[in-house]
Amino acid sequence: MLDLAVIGARAVTPSGTKPADIGVRDGLIARVAAPGTLEDAARTIDARGTFLLPGALDPHTHLDAEMFGSRTADDFESGTVAAAAGGVTTIVDYAFQPEGGSLAEAVSRWDEKARGRAIIDYAFHVAILDPSAPAVAEIGRMVERGVTSFKIFMMRGFEERARDFLRAFAAAAEAGGLLTIHAEDQHLIGYCTERLLSSGRNGVAHFAASRPPLSEAAAVARALKMTELTGAVAYFVHLSSAAALHEIRRARAEGRKVLAETRPIYLYLSEEKFLEPGGERYVGYPPLRSRDDIEALWEAMADGTVDVVATDHCSWTSERKTADRFTRIPPGVSNLETLVPMLYSEGVAKGRITLERMVELVASNPARIFGLYPRKGAIIEGADADLVVFDPRAKVVIRAAEMHSRADYDPFEGSEVTGWPRVTISRGEIIVAERESRARPGRGKFLVRAPFSETRS
């Protein structure tokens, strides 16, 4: 007897997209069976006319985070409900090393934020803000505990501590830790920002010019040399420009191992948004780019240059996004609920990427890269039963009022989307159906991750 059966869908599996009935027992995928061949189940979902997808894994979120003197709108409850409603069943959130504190403290603080609140499974990266000798010495211990990736911000205080960061890079390489790198060059940004502000160009209309694509490409190139020197592997978060992609391709042509992520706002919105009233609401680091950059990112997703699409979900109210100068606007937008449906609608339905490529970008690739495959990221017997019944014909107009984030605006407000999750299942439990959460806060579990190794990705 199965606990749950999902029948009649076309399932996207590692061996292809095909009609298959899925049997769930004890929270795991027990059977991937030919249609009509499953044993009895306590409960059956009729999924005819849909695609069955592995739950998405978003490896870039900021829930219950403090930045610019404020706390993000979403905590681990509202954020993971939004995620689940959009077909995301696992997140990897960034735990920030506290000022003067250790990496272990970062993890225990984030554990407190998530425990009792998250409705989906979660893991943490640790953002190394102070690469002191004791912090560098902790890197190996973090990897042993299953916290196997680290964040490096290149744009704040990085240059002053570059040698210490090199020691952190080497320690991560030795321990099997992956470096997730925010690549923007602090001096190029500083120079551009100073020039704008000193001539009174304070408004958001000038934000994009303060952090040009060259500052991203320069930082990518530099980080690639630093990782080459230390033997570390770099995973570049939220790449936004053709210039940065050029550096990725060049490194790969030289035989280097390098990983690249992009983010939905760079796929759907261009820098002209900053000229509109309320343009502050679209501010993220790096900024929105040109239409040519948008085209370059779509090409890079299709040809394999980009490995992962992740949200960088960092939610604010529209009031908090206003400021008298662009440097004071907290960066980030709410995005977890729209990650999968927007990518399906704009990417798959419009023929720019295949359905299978979409599943790689939002599920199997991040699961492999971040040490969770095959438990997460694939419809495969023995994996966690994290499944999304995705209705490719559903029509939804995005309205912030109908979304689950506590942000009061959505960056894609008014967009007409074709395709939306009908049911989201986590470890065999129906946690969202018809856009309503049915899950108990706190049911999500912390995931211990495997070290990074080149063979897995």
Residues from 71 through 90 that contact Zn ion (CB under 5 A): none
Closest to Zn ion by CB, 312 vs 384, is 312
The one segment of 100-108, 193-201, 304-312, 429-437 that binds Zn ion by CB under 5 A? 304-312
Query: What's the min distance (Å) between Cβ of 62 and Zn ion?
Result: 6
Judged by beta carbon, residue 74 or residue 312, the one nearer Zn ion is: 312
| Inter-residue contact 305 to 258 (CB < 8 Å) | no
Nearer to Zn ion, 207 or 344 (CB): 207
In whole angstroms, the minimum distance from the beta carbon of 312 to Zn ion comes to: 4
Question: Shortest gap between Cβ of 236 and Zn ion (angstroms)?
Answer: 12
Q: How far is the CB of 267 from Zn ion (least distance, A)?
A: 16
The 3 state secondary structure assigned to the chain is: CECEEEECCEEEECCEEEECEEEEECCEEEEEECCCCCCCECCEEECCCCEEEECEEEEEECCCCEECCEECCCCHHHHHHHHHHCCEEEEEEEEECCCCCCHHHHHHHHHHHHCCCCCCEEEEEEECCCCCHHHHHHHHHHHHCCCCEEEEECCCCCHHHHHHHHHHHHHHHHHCCEEEEECCCHHHHHHHHHHHHHCCCCCHHHHHHHCCHHHHHHHHHHHHHHHHHHCCCEEECCCCCHHHHHHHHHHHHCCCCEEEEECHHHHHCCHHHHHCCCHHHHCCCCCCCCHHHHHHHHHHHHHCCCCEECCCECCCCCCCCCCCCHHHCCCCCCCCCCHHHHHHHHHHCCCCCCHHHHHHHHHHHHHHHCCCCCCCCCCCCCCECCEEEEEEEEEEECCHHHCCCCCCCCCCCCCEEEEEEEEEEECCEEEEECCEECCCCCCCCECCCCCCCHHHC
**CB-wise, 10 or 313, nearer to Zn ion?**
313
We find the least distance from the C-beta atom of residue 94 to Zn ion, in angstroms, to be 6
Report the first-to-last Cα separation within the chain, whole angstroms: 36
Instruction: Write down the least CB distance from residue 263 to Zn ion, Å.
Output: 9
Tell me whether residue 88 or residue 388 sits nearer to Zn ion (CB atom): 88
Q: Which is nearer to Zn ion, 193 or 311 (CB)?
A: 311
Shortest spacing between CB 314 and Zn ion, in angstroms: 6
Judged by CB, which is closer to Zn ion: 177, or 284?
284
Residue among 336, 212, 332 at smallest CA distance from 281: 332
Q: How far is the CB of 63 from Zn ion (least distance, A)?
A: 11
Q: In the complex, what is the shortest distance from the CB of residue 35 to Zn ion, in angstroms, rounded to a whole number?
A: 42
Cβ–Cβ contacts within 10 Å for residue 328, how many?
Answer: 12
Residue 30 or 178: which CB sits closer to Zn ion?
Answer: 178
8 Å CB contact between 49 and 302: no
Binding segment for Zn ion among 135-143, 195-203, 310-318, 387-395 (CB under 5 A)?
Answer: 310-318
How far apart are alpha carbons 150 and 174 in whole angstroms? 13
Total of residues contacting Zn ion (CB under 5 A): 1
Within 227-256, the residues that bind Zn ion by CB under 5 A are none
Widest CA span in the chain: 72
Residue number of the CB closest to Zn ion reads: 312
In the complex, what is the shortest distance from the CB of residue 421 to Zn ion, in angstroms, rounded to a whole number?
24
Stretch that binds Zn ion, among 20-28, 220-228, 305-313, 399-407 (CB under 5 A): 305-313
Minimum distance from CB of 17 to Zn ion (Å)?
Answer: 32
CB environment 228-247: b (16+ within 10 A), e (fewer): eebebbbbbbbbbbbbbbbb
Region near Zn ion per CB under 5 A, out of 190-198, 309-317, 375-383, 448-456: 309-317
- How far apart, in whole angstroms, are the C-alpha atoms of residue 270 and residue 370? 30
Question: Which of 97/424 has CB closer to Zn ion?
Answer: 97
- Our finding on whether 337 is near Zn ion (CB under 5 A) is no
- In the set 64, 185, 312, 384, which binds Zn ion (CB under 5 A)? 312
- Least separation in angstroms between residue 152's CB and Zn ion is 12
- Pattern 156-195, Zn ion, x by CB under 5 A: ----------------------------------------
- Cβ distance to Zn ion smaller for residue 64 or 312: 312
Closest CB to Zn ion among residues 312, 410: 312
Of 62 and 449, which has the nearer Cβ to Zn ion?
A: 62
Residues at the contact surface with Zn ion, assessed by CB under 5 A: 312
